[in-house]
């Protein structure tokens, strides 16, 4: 028996998978957020070692999720991959550079004969911690604000600006999301460290830092949400394919889809609960509320950008070059084949959970670090 699935369903299914991976990536950027505190939070080398080792046991998951996010985009929406990566060259290169230096920094920072010294590798972690979330936020914001490109008859991209993506940094709305993601990553990083390290002195510093970072996060996030919901959005006509700017378009997408609305409001509430727990109750469990809140909020933002009559990667230079799910997607056959592959994801999540819990039964302490063979 052959399973009858519509092309529209497959495109939306894959956009949901991309959204889910995007949500997990933003949550897992607690690693980057934690790294951004490497010079400011720890009072001494031992505290710094505890922070780095706590984050270092998770960095590969963020990294792998980023790679899978890229691979899934390539497989399901190759025209986006070609257009954005090939056009916004400098933004993506800056993101990649920041991740290259992260990958080695953990393993090399405390090894003897590492040539450049621990501080250089710690600086790599700091750069990745700040630049990674910020630039990924800016890049995702262009899903709402548009980019300066045109596509020819054969879908070859021509980028309008010689800055090749860096021009996104002068759009205030893009900056708002970049800063919101950066401060969210920092908030998540603090909550994660609170959860995984058992050190009274460090815990006191974490709580103070949480307040200082939660406020800018809320300000930038709310400002971004207000800007896109109350501003114009790129609507794609379902019949002609013509793309036009329409006032309140993303607001319509939010309230017009019950799943998007539930994900968004539910996620926001959970993040607020997490902040309340972390700031006023000093709860170690805040990271879980924040995580279960962050993922649906990011999914909702992606759904607002991609579902409905919307161009998910709009062109501000030539609206008709904008990418919709239909225009950018892989073939029916590929999406269907890949859908079967994606069914393994719950199994992957299950073994990650099992492996994590098996090595994270106890919190990191000075004693635990002293007895560990492999430290960073």
* Plot region of 241 (φ>0 → left; ψ -120 to 50 → alpha; else → beta): left
Q: By CB under 8 A, is residue 115 in contact with other proteins?
A: yes
112 or 170: CB nearest other proteins:
112
Please enumerate, as own/partner, the contacts of 249-253 that have beta carbons within 8 Å and a separation of 24 or more.
Answer: 249/310, 250/144, 250/304, 250/305, 250/310, 252/308, 253/303, 253/304, 253/307, 253/308, 253/310
Of these, 15, 30, 106, 134, which contacts other proteins (CB under 8 A)?
Answer: 106
Q: By CB under 8 A, is residue 27 in contact with other proteins?
A: no
Q: By CB under 8 A, is residue 86 in contact with other proteins?
A: yes
Q: In terms of DSSP H, where are the helices of the chain?
A: 7-28, 30-35, 45-56, 59-76, 78-80, 86-87, 89-108, 118-145, 172-196, 200-230, 249-256, 258-276, 286-306, 325-328, 332-342, 345-359, 366-370
Q: How far is the CB of 89 from other proteins (least distance, A)?
A: 5
Half-sphere exposure of 361 (CA within 13 A, CB side): 4
- Which residues, 281 to 340, sit near other proteins by CB under 8 A? 330-331, 333-334, 337-338
By three-state DSSP, how is residue 271 classified? helix
Residue 305 CA to residue 250 CA, distance in Å, equals: 7
The Cβ of residue 219 has, within 10 Å, a number of other Cβ atoms equal to: 14
Q: How far is the CB of 176 from other proteins (least distance, A)?
A: 25
Of these, 201, 242, 367, 372, which contacts other proteins (CB under 8 A)?
Answer: 372
The site map against other proteins for 141-180 (x = CB under 8 A) is ------------xxxxxxx--x-x----------------
Q: By CB under 8 A, is residue 116 in contact with other proteins?
A: yes
Q: By CB under 8 A, is residue 85 in contact with other proteins?
A: yes
Q: Hey, what's the torsion of the CAs at 89, 90, 96, 99, to 10 degrees?
A: -160
Q: How far is the CB of 76 from other proteins (least distance, A)?
A: 7
Q: By CB under 8 A, is residue 79 in contact with other proteins?
A: yes
Of these, 16, 46, 101, 369, which contacts other proteins (CB under 8 A)?
Answer: 101
- Which residues, 349 to 368, sit near other proteins by CB under 8 A? 351-352, 355-356, 358-359, 361
Q: By CB under 8 A, is residue 81 in contact with other proteins?
A: yes
Of these, 16, 46, 75, 223, which contacts other proteins (CB under 8 A)?
Answer: 75
Which of 198, 240, 214 is CA-nearest to residue 47? 198
**CA distance to 156, 169, 307, per residue, from 81 (Å):** 12, 20, 18
Q: How many residues does the chain have?
A: 376
Q: How far is the CB of 112 from other proteins (least distance, A)?
A: 5
By three-state DSSP, how is residue 65 classified? helix
Of these, 212, 348, 365, 366, which contacts other proteins (CB under 8 A)?
Answer: 348
Q: By CB under 8 A, is residue 66 in contact with other proteins?
A: yes
Q: By CB under 8 A, is residue 2 in contact with other proteins?
A: no
Q: How far is the CB of 325 from other proteins (least distance, A)?
A: 14
């Amino acid at each position: 028996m052959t399973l009858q699935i519509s092309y529209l369903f497959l495109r939306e299914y894959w956009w949901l998978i991309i959204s889910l991976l995007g949500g997990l990536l933003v949550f897992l950027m607690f690693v980057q957020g934690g790294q951004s505190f490497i010079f400011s939070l720890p009072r001494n080398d031992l505290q710094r070692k505890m922070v780095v080792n706590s984050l270092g046991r998770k960095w590969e998951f963020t990294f792998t999720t980023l790679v899978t996010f890229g691979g899934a985009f390539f497989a399901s929406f190759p025209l986006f991959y070609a257009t954005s990566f090939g056009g916004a060259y400098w933004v993506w290169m800056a993101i990649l550079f920041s991740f290259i230096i992260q990958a080695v920094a953990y393993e090399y920072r405390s090894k003897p004969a590492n040539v450049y010294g621990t501080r250089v590798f710690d600086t790599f972690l700091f750069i990745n911690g700040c630049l990674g979330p910020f630039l990924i936020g800016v890049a995702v914001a262009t899903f709402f604000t548009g980019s300066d490109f045109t596509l020819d008859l054969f879908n070859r991209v021509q980028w309008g600006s010689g800055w090749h993506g860096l021009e996104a940094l002068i759009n205030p709305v893009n900056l708002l999301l970049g800063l919101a993601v950066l401060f969210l990553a920092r908030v998540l990083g603090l909550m994660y460290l609170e959860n995984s390290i058992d050190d009274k002195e460090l815990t006191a510093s974490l709580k103070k830092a949480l307040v200082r970072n939660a406020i800018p996060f809320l300000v930038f996030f709310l400002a971004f949400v207000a800007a896109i919901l109350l501003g114009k959005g790129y609507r794609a006509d379902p019949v002609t394919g013509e793309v036009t700017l329409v006032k309140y378009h993303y607001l319509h997408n939010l309230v017009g889809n019950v799943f998007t609305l539930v994900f968004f409001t539910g996620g926001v509430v959970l993040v607020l609960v997490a902040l309340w727990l972390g700031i006023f109750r000093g709860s170690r469990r805040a990271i879980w509320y924040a995580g279960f809140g962050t993922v649906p909020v990011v999914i909702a933002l992606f759904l607002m950008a991609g579902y409905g009559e919307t161009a998910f990667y709009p062109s501000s230079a030539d609206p008709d070059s904008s990418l919709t799910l239909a225009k950018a997607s892989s073939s029916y056959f590929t999406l269907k084949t890949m859908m079967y592959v994606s069914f393994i994801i719950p199994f992957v999540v299950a073994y990650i959970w099992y492996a994590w819990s098996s090595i994270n039964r106890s919190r990191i302490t000075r004693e635990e670090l002293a007895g560990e063979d492999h430290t960073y």
